[in-house]
Amino acid sequence: MEAATLKPPVNPTVKERALAWIGPFFLLSAAVYYWILTLVLLPIEQPYPKDLQTLRHRAFSKLWLAKGRAMSAEMPGKTVALIGLARGRVLDIGPGSGEQLHRFNFNDGQITELWGVEPATDMHPLLRETAKKLGFGDKFHPLACGAEPESLVPALAKAGLMGQMSGGSAGIFDDICLIRVICGVPQPEETVNGLYKALKPGGRFIVSEHVVNPWPQPQGNVIGRVMQFFWQHVGGWKYLMGGCQLNRDTKSMLLNAAKQDGGWAKVDLEWVNSWACVPFIVGTLTKKE
């Protein structure tokens, strides 16, 4: 198993903290460049984007195709090990250009099918090519849709999977991977609730998401929280990063998704760099049987 893990400094020094707090500036600078490139190429790139969301996806695809590999070489905490645990019929939300695909364990039939929900169709050629190179063959199914129910449900129905949700509650997937994606979906709460329904009993969310800095809880940090607000609203993150939001309370949304069933059977989430302006939660949530 690959050991690419971003180890958070145990007791970050002032310098480490300062570097983490200004870190978003570098990505935002690249995002500005790829937005300008997208707008310059607009008259010649086909098809013409049908709405602002499609244009955002195009600009973000350019950024991700250029920087995604470097940004995926190391992943927070135990993310890499968790992706390797995915089994059965797996749904990967927002696989992008496929930078995590090599971390799935296809040996010994551990994964029977891998479905990838990626609305940024500019990433699909590389996504398909990566899956092909890895030898996933006909086990890999990319879907050109978003994870929000009104987009995902028709796509799953078209793929013939909805019929398997008898009475709407049995679920379809053994594991659903949420890797750096819920920060950017348009209706996060409905999306997470819909994905919860798509999990089979005993199924898991495998999560590696950046979330709102937990300040004033003890793990949080007021400067991290302020810097997060600054990059999101003043620095332009909200507009430049394909709809990604730095200060989303994804942790609460994930925990609440199982309320209707009296909670999750098991929650195993850990903080990575909870003091920073891009703090992560990494772990699994297991649905009751």
Residue 77 near ligand SAM by CB under 6 A: no
Residue 174 near ligand SAM by CB under 6 A: no
Residue 180 near ligand SAM by CB under 6 A: yes
Please identify, among the stretches 6-14, 143-151, 210-218, 279-287, the one whose residues bind ligand SAM according to the rule CB under 6 A. Answer: 143-151
Strands 88-93 and 266-272: unpaired
Contact 99, 72 (CB under 8 A): yes
Closest CA to 124 of 147, 100, 143: 143
What is the C-alpha to C-alpha distance for residues 170 and 201, in angstroms, rounded to an integer? 7
Q: How far is the CB of 11 from ligand SAM (least distance, A)?
A: 28
Q: How far is the CB of 67 from ligand SAM (least distance, A)?
A: 10
Q: How far is the CB of 261 from ligand SAM (least distance, A)?
A: 24
Strands 173-179 and 140-143: unpaired
Residue 211 near ligand SAM by CB under 6 A: no
Count of alpha carbons within 13 angstroms of residue 196, beta-carbon side = 22
Closest CA to 95 of 178, 216, 167, 29: 178
Residue 101 near ligand SAM by CB under 6 A: no
At 135, the amino acid letter reads G
Select the residue interacting with ligand SAM from 111, 114, 185, 285 (CB under 6 A). Answer: 185
Contact 101, 130 (CB under 8 A): yes
Select the residue interacting with ligand SAM from 17, 99, 142, 282 (CB under 6 A). Answer: 99
Q: Which two tokens stand for residue 289?
A: 């049987």
What is the Cα 179 distance to its own chain's centre? Answer: 3
Select the residue interacting with ligand SAM from 148, 174, 175, 209 (CB under 6 A). Answer: 148
Residue 209 near ligand SAM by CB under 6 A: no
Farthest-apart Cα atoms in the chain, separation: 55
Nearer to ligand SAM among residue 54 and residue 110 (C-beta) = 54
Residue 94 near ligand SAM by CB under 6 A: yes
Q: Which two tokens stand for residue 8?
A: 């958070």
Nearer to ligand SAM among residue 190 and residue 268 (C-beta) = 190
Nearer to ligand SAM among residue 96 and residue 142 (C-beta) = 96
What is the C-alpha to C-alpha distance for residues 150 and 264, in angstroms, rounded to an integer? 25
Residue 120 near ligand SAM by CB under 6 A: yes
Closest CA to 254 of 242, 272, 266: 266
Nearer to ligand SAM among residue 115 and residue 215 (C-beta) = 115
Residue 100 near ligand SAM by CB under 6 A: yes
Residues forming the site for ligand SAM (CB under 6 A) = 57, 64, 72, 93-96, 99-100, 117-120, 123, 146-148, 179-181, 184-186
